[in-house]
Structure 1
Amino acid sequence: MKNFMDTALELRIKFENNEPLTEDEIKNFLEKSFLLKKLTSDFSDEPLFLVWRVIALSEIPHSNKLEYTQNIIRKILHKMGTAYGFILTGEADYLLPCYNAMLISALCKLGLPENEIVKNGISWIMEYQVFARNKVCNWRGTGIKKYGGCFKTVPCYIGLAKALKALINYNKYHRKNLIQNKIDIGIEYLLKHHLYKRLSNGEPITKHILDIAFPESYNLNIVELLDIVYSAGKINDERVNEAVDYLNSKRQKNGGWKTNYVYKSKGYVSFDARGQIGEWVTYLLEKILSKNK
């Protein structure tokens, strides 16, 4: 591990430990962060840049106080907000469940659970997202059919997991029985797969599902999956144990974890360097695994 911790992570730890901080102290943590300097050093209004950058910023508490973050949010709401939720093209026919869900999660973390478009996206998930096999989705948008098998006989695991994550993040602010019931169904679907295994042969569901990386990208990975079940209060389910065992096998002698993959896309910034012990993934995994006893 490095001899110092980025102040953005220090702020995250204090935030999650409910430590009281003054506005001046928060400002100081934000201003001194090398990570935040990197995240705010460039800008593009291209949709994917906006997606990856807002996701990164949402992982840093109080980053919504930055004008840069507010500018990103305004661009997303203007360019991608629709009556159905968030769509990269802004056209309803091309809604993709994964991107709608990722933006909902990010904006909830950034203080916008009451935003009308966030609520539109949640309504879309509640009405159209399937959390089971052999279930017909009634959504008629053509984008789903054009870009992949989001709702075939076996629903896309990435889209399903990210939609579930969006419901969990939204439900922190709007606890409703219907949403909780949908979360419970989705969590059970993940647990049946032991988070990362195909039901047919026990092999990893996707190429990148066992990657150790942060923050979230299109490629659903084991860190994100564990965070989902942790957030849902299911980290002690016995079907999580194989994922925990896998991560423990990857733990380094000094107790940390190495980032072994960095997603490549304009606007995406890895919080940890590839091939090195990652302070962010190590903090997150230690927090999650400490509850799996």
Structure 2
Amino acid sequence: MVFSLIRLGYLEDERFQKAIGWIYAFQRTDDGVDKPPEGEVYMRYESCWGRHSCHMGVAQALKAVAAIPEEKRNGKIDEKIAELAEYFLKHRFYMKSHDPEKVAKPGWLRLGFPLMYQTDVLELLEIFAELRIKDPKLQDAIEIVSLKRNKEGLWKMQNSLNDGMLVPIEENGKPSKWLTLKALKILKFYAEL
């Protein structure tokens, strides 16, 4: 919601600033190393605020604060972006940080559009590219996206939410214009990494 409202021009709204403040104050990236934080906010949803930071929560928080135009960011937002980005670099987006050979989020390897509350390696790479973050730890995700290109040079829709939408956007299992456009832009940006 924060991402969408920023894109719709509500960044300066006083009520909306509270949502950004919430992300800064409460979004965890501790990765279960230390004792989880305590307090009412963290006790409400064990699955999101339990022993380990929620991958999806971190992804959506990064997507939201990355949407803030660079000239409108302050030091706090820049710090939060760096913290959230580092979390994903440590996980190579979809791996477990404590066991880097195990996949934590297998669904993130299936590309889709639109993703709504979900994400995948392509969307995360897009966010990192928009933030102009280049790091050797991204190579694995870049390779995953690159290898999904078919013989015609297109990317197939692998994860569709069309069942829950009024108007379907492309077709699962078929080449996707949206995914192809995103993948080509990202691969071009990271070509020299």
TM-score range with shorter-chain normalisation?
A: 0.7 to 0.9
Query: How far did 1:269 drift?
Result: 5.5
Count the aligned residue pairs: 188
The residue that corresponds to 1:140 in the other structure is 40
Structure 1: 5+ residue stretches without partners: 1-102
- Aligned to 1:260, which of 158, 164, 180? 158
Larger radius of gyration: 1
- The range that moved more, 218-227 or 129-138, is 129-138
Conserved? CA contact 1:257–1:281, under 8 Å: yes
1:140 partner amino acid: E
Deviating 4+ runs (over 6 angstroms) = none
Conserved? CA contact 1:215–1:270, under 8 Å: no
The residue that corresponds to 2:104 in the other structure is 205
> Can you list the C-alpha shifts for 1:38-81, whole angstroms capped at 9, x where unaligned?
xxxxxxxxxxxxxxxxxxxxxxxxxxxxxxxxxxxxxxxxxxxx
- TM-score, normalised to structure 2, is 0.87
The residue that corresponds to 1:276 in the other structure is 174
CA distance in 2, matches of 1:171, 1:208: 30
- Residues 183 and 135 of structure 1: is their aligned pair in 2 closer, same or farther, counting only changes over 3 Å? farther
2:51 partner amino acid: T
> Can you list the C-alpha shifts for 1:75-127, whole angstroms capped at 9, x where unaligned?
xxxxxxxxxxxxxxxxxxxxxxxxxxxx0001111122112332111010111
The residue that corresponds to 2:122 in the other structure is 223
CA distance in 1, matches of 2:117, 2:10: 22
CA distance in 1, matches of 2:166, 2:81: 28
Conserved? CA contact 2:115–2:161, under 8 Å: no
Kindly indicate whether residue 137 of structure 2 is the aligned counterpart of residue 239 of structure 1.
yes
Structure 1 vs Structure 2 CA RMSD: 2.1
- Residues 274 and 177 of structure 1: is their aligned pair in 2 closer, same or farther, counting only changes over 3 Å? same
Structure 2: 5+ residue stretches without partners: none
CA distance in 2, matches of 1:267, 1:212: 17
Alignment of 1:18-37 (within 5 A): none
Conserved? CA contact 1:197–1:204, under 8 Å: yes
The residue that corresponds to 1:38 in the other structure is none
- Aligned to 2:57, which of 159, 178, 181? 159
CA distance in 2, matches of 1:265, 1:122: 31
- TM-score, normalised to structure 1, is 0.59
> Can you list the C-alpha shifts for 1:208-244, whole angstroms capped at 9, x where unaligned?
111110122222211211112112211x311111111
- Aligned to 2:23, which of 125, 138, 147? 125
CA distance in 2, matches of 1:153, 1:143: 11
Query: How far did 1:171 drift?
Result: 4.6
